[in-house]
Structure 1
Amino acid sequence: MKKVQVLFLAVITIAFQSCQTSEKENTGITFLLSNPSTIELVDKGVKIARTEIDFDSSKAVYPLIKTASGEIIPSQLDDIDGDGEWDEIFLVWNFAPNEEIEISLAWVEEAREYEKRTAVRFGKRDAIDQAVTSRKGDVLLADELPRSIGYQPYQTDGPSWENDKVGFRHYFDGRNSKDLFGKKTSAMSPKDVGVNSKGEVEDNYHTMEDWGRDILAVGNSVGLGGFTLLKDDKPARLGVLVTDSVNNIEKSTFKILSEGSVRSIIHFEYNNWDAFDRKYPKVEEKVSIVPGMYGFKNEVKFDGLQGDEHIAIGLVNIHNDKGIKQIDDFEDWVVLMTHDAQGYEKEWIIGMALILPKAQFIEMIEAPQEGNVTDSYLAKMKTVNNEPIEYYAIGAWELSDEGFREAAYFEQYLRDLVSEIQVDIQVNKITQE
């Protein structure tokens, strides 16, 4: 009996050592993450470029990241350029002021499930008598607008994206403006929002549900965080109005680049856009959303600019009687904010804002009262051909946080958010085995 016990202990010891060796071999790299600021960072995103990692695609392909104390950090692999290969590891973590955290990266065979804190929803039907199906992307040609084909093909008029705080949607049906979903819960909203029990496209998101609803009147503006192009301060709409049957864009392409637990990324490309009696061969935008923020990040660039145009970022101005406030005492960013009863029937307080790069911001102007771009404040930006402009669009609903009923509370939220945005976590590789 004693010999059996000794043998059993020996087997357990060998197995334990084997597990330790296997874990050590799989770990590979250790990084030091440093918060260089004196502020606390909550849900701070961190990027680790693929070029920082010696990666063997023939082995396990899913990252598992842990702190030195063994806590698992939610992370994902993201394909940023859409070439089918991942470009960076993205993770979200909390950092105390001036804190340094040592993390280890292991490669495992199965993807770990994390709490889902971002999502993208996109569906389409190919005929009026077909059900909507979930898609990863789509191409819209100039003669395929709802008015010309006789029905709305897209669920929620185009893709929607969200995090645990707020949601948005983009009118991919030719209008190319951006709308706001207010959320009352941190859970992701149902995948069938905008579709009825028969699988038909249905506007059922303007009624209050447990998760929230569409809360913003957009009209003929470019919405919250949409954009246009100015020439002599006159805007040209990238796309058309709901009453038009032919687009001024030859081809519009949408693609989901990533839909992960801690970041979702979508990409739009517009080819051969007619504006100002010119044709712009390509316009691109890349939208991303991460947890914890009442907003999304957008990156916009134009190809074919002739030097007398300016990109303008829009902030809808329909139910706003209190004007707009400019906050420019930050080093790198300018904030344009509104705060009023801006719901459909002015029934809710909504705070909205644009967080814009100060180096590219020129001034705020207002869209004309007539034309195909109206009801908008427009942030006029310094614009260079094929150089991106990155900015944030923020939407804060009083039913998401009752503090947003007060303008001072919303402004303080924006100030705290910009302070966090200005901090980049320093990533330093320590070892590689």
Structure 2
Amino acid sequence: MKTLAVIALTCGAALSTQAVAADAPWYVQGDWSPAQRVAIKLVNDLDVERKNNPVIITRQQLEGILPDLHELSYTVVDPTLPGRPQPSVAHLAVQGGHEIRAETNGRWVHYQFDDLDKDGLWDELFFMTDLKPRETRTVYIYLGHQDRGWNAHGSHAAIGSYMRHQVPFWESENVGWKLWYPTDIDVYGKRTPQLMSRRLYMENLDGYGVGQVDMGLGSDIMDVADSMGGGGVGMFDDPADPNKVSRPRFTPRHGGKTRFNAGSGADTRYAFEVVTNGPARSIIRIKTMNWDTGHGRYALSQEYTAYAGENFTTARVKFDQFDSKTPGAAFGVGIRKRPNEKFLVQKGGTVVSAAPEAIRNPDDRESFQTDLMVAYAGSALVVKDAAKATYVFSPERQGNHLFKLPRTADGKYEYMLAAGWSEGAVLKTQEAFADYVAVKAREYNSPVRFGGAALESKAK
């Protein structure tokens, strides 16, 4: 049961209740002055400042603390941020009654109550924040109905009919990802920060030629072909070669020959679903089923998340079927080695590959489109230190940098992917991209920690 009690109860470490108001001033927006709030402590365990960091608070962590109310009766406020001023009459005439009014004692932030398992109950509260080194900060969920606060999206996820087949898209304003192939990712970079995948799939713009429509839209910056592209999964289960990776779209189903993207009736099947769509994060779910490597049968789901303002995406993987004939079969995840790779960083659970690149459309056999030479295009893959992964380089299928992860008891593992290019608004050099990946890898290994929650009431 995920139902939340209205009466707050102590529930787990650092959880408490309060019958009287805390010392911190109370948030006011226009004529809305709430009388109850839930105080949530966020902890930065790192000695460095965090910028625009994801915060995930689960339903279980607020069990017995947060009253069961409609979403419009929750307002997440950071008291350390300056409040917005009162909008002008002209602005209100455009935006209407839902426009936010003047704020005091904090600022409403973009947040989401996301239902991940689609049972009608939210599973995670999500927002993004900055934290100082070793800071413990209290943010609040103010309680009480109010219907103000437009939330402009900084991320997007959708499934579109793109060049005659269904393709999942997820993006931030800097980078977008899509599955032209069902398990290996295409990457597109933007020159101007914007959400533009809806134009790609609605207008069926060519990923490599979008710059010819509008230079700000950017370009596809990954030639996937038979590689793992900007990120792909596999299985290390070949008893004859422990470092050989099996992959869902290349299976020995047809007379012993490997066939790419065979019919779904007899070969690997895929299904796509939008889990949530902004404003701060957007999630696509990919199900891979009926996967027979010749050494085992598998089924799994992946949830890829795009984050507003960022150049990385994270993935949660869960195997629902793991029937392997190979003792010690291990999970795999990889990225393509950049063609003409000139820059490589591999340390622990991180690998970064970058190179100057002539970006071209491999399907443009008549060469109607000109190649785009860029100073660098880069890809990165991060697995958590706790996974105890092993780095493997595979020279097969364009060359791929991989990590081999020991099988987990619950069939789950996670990874992070990142991308950058010299034409983007940020991370214009491969060194800046590698530094960014190092920072995000450190934060990924030590996420913002939930430090407890309490229900508070304003003194009368």
For Structure 1 versus Structure 2, the TM-score category normalised by the shorter chain is 0.7 to 0.9
Residue correspondence of structure 1 range 347-366 to structure 2 within 5 A: 347-348=373-374, 349-366=376-393
Number of aligned residues? 371
- Tell me, yes or no, if structure 1 residue 211 matches structure 2 residue 228: no
| Local SS of the residue matching 2:33 | helix
- Tell me, yes or no, if structure 1 residue 396 matches structure 2 residue 420: yes
Q: Work out which of the residue numbers 60, 67, 75 in structure 2 matches 1:64.
A: 75
Q: Which AA in structure 2 matches 1:216?
A: M
| Contact residue 218 and residue 318 of structure 1 kept, 8 A | no
CA gap of 1:221–1:250, structure 2 versus 1, over 3 A, is closer
Q: Work out which of the residue numbers 332, 341, 355 in structure 2 matches 1:321.
A: 341
Structure 1 partner of 2:33: 23
Q: Work out which of the residue numbers 312, 336, 361 in structure 1 matches 2:351.
A: 336
CA gap of 1:267–1:249, structure 2 versus 1, over 3 A, is farther
CA gap of 1:20–1:416, structure 2 versus 1, over 3 A, is closer
Residue correspondence of structure 1 range 3-402 to structure 2 within 5 A: 23-25=33-35, 27-51=36-60, 52=62, 54=65, 57=68, 59=70, 61-68=72-79, 69-107=105-143, 108-110=145-147, 112-124=149-161, 152-154=164-166, 158-171=167-180, 175-189=182-196, 191-196=198-203, 201=204, 203=206, 205-208=208-211, 209=214, 210-231=216-237, 232-240=242-250, 244-247=261-264, 249-280=267-298, 282-302=299-319, 303-306=321-324, 307-322=327-342, 324-328=344-348, 334-345=349-360, 347-348=373-374, 349-369=376-396, 373-384=397-408, 386-401=410-425
The sequence identity of aligned pairs, in percent, is 19
What is the aligned-residue RMSD (CA, Å)?
3.0
Deviations 1:273-308 (A, max 9, x none): 11125322x211111121232110012232224343
Structure 2 partner of 1:129: none
| Contact residue 199 and residue 205 of structure 2 kept, 8 A | no
CA gap of 1:362–1:277, structure 2 versus 1, over 3 A, is closer
Deviations 1:75-129 (A, max 9, x none): 11111223332112111122222334332212435373223111113223xxxxx
Q: Which AA in structure 2 matches 1:70?
A: G
Provide the TM-score with structure 1 as the length reference. Answer: 0.76
Provide the TM-score with structure 2 as the length reference. Answer: 0.72
Q: Higher RCO, 1 or 2 (CA under 8 Å, sep at least 6)?
A: 2
Q: Tell me how far 1:190 sits from its aligned partner.
A: 5.1
Q: Tell me how far 1:271 sits from its aligned partner.
A: 2.1
| Local SS of the residue matching 2:286 | strand
| Contact residue 160 and residue 201 of structure 2 kept, 8 A | no
Unaligned runs of 5+ in 1: 1-17, 125-131, 133-150, 329-333
| Contact residue 206 and residue 215 of structure 1 kept, 8 A | no
Aligned partners of 1:242, 1:193: CA distance in 2, in Å? 28
| Contact residue 248 and residue 268 of structure 2 kept, 8 A | no
| Contact residue 194 and residue 204 of structure 1 kept, 8 A | no
Aligned partners of 2:232, 2:277: CA distance in 1, in Å? 21
Aligned partners of 1:93, 1:19: CA distance in 2, in Å? 21
Q: Work out which of the residue numbers 416, 424, 430 in structure 1 matches 2:448.
A: 424
